[in-house]
Amino acid sequence: MSNDVLPWLIGGALFVHGVGHLLGFWMPVRCWLLPGANEKMLRRMSSVFWVLSMVGFIGASLSYLGILLPEAWWSTVALVSACISLLGLLLFFGNWPAFNTIAALAMNVVVLVAVIAVKVQDG
């Protein structure tokens, strides 16, 4: 694979994962931690996670590609976004089809491992 293609694949994956957080809005919302809470409050609460994750991953993507944001920011923005997304997925677990949940969890874990590996390697 060409060295010119890899950044676009990584940036594209971060971007698509960010846009994927829009799917957090299409299902009824339940939270295992607050089983008696009304859906309107839970939807507002979950929306914070999905909007922050979406904006963060899209920002990390643009930063990684050197578009609009400094390239040095991508790893920190991606790390924070993955943590926010994971927390949202854990709090609102069971709201989406299993494939969507597993794919989102996997992508977040891949981002965390990759970013931590890059940070450890860079010292």
pLDDT of residue 27: 75
Question: Could you tell me if residue 112 is inside a domain?
Answer: yes
Domain assignment of residue 42, yes or no = yes
Per-residue pLDDT for the chain (123 aa), expressed as one digit of tens each?
Answer: 667 898 999 999 999 999 999 987 777 789 999 999 998 999 999 999 999 999 999 999 999 999 989 999 999 999 999 999 999 999 999 888 899 899 999 999 999 999 999 888 887
Spatial separation of the C-alpha atoms in residues 40 and 29, rounded to whole Å: 8
80: containing domain = 6-122
57-86 residue pLDDT tens: 999 999 999 998 999 999 999 999 999 999
Number of compact structural domains in the chain:
1
Domain assignment present for residue 116? The answer is yes
In a domain, 86, yes or no: yes
Distance set, CA 67 to CA 41, 59, 72, 77, 87 (Å): 36, 9, 12, 14, 28
The predicted pLDDT at position 23 comes to 83
pTM over 0.85: yes
Is the residue at 1 inside a domain?
no
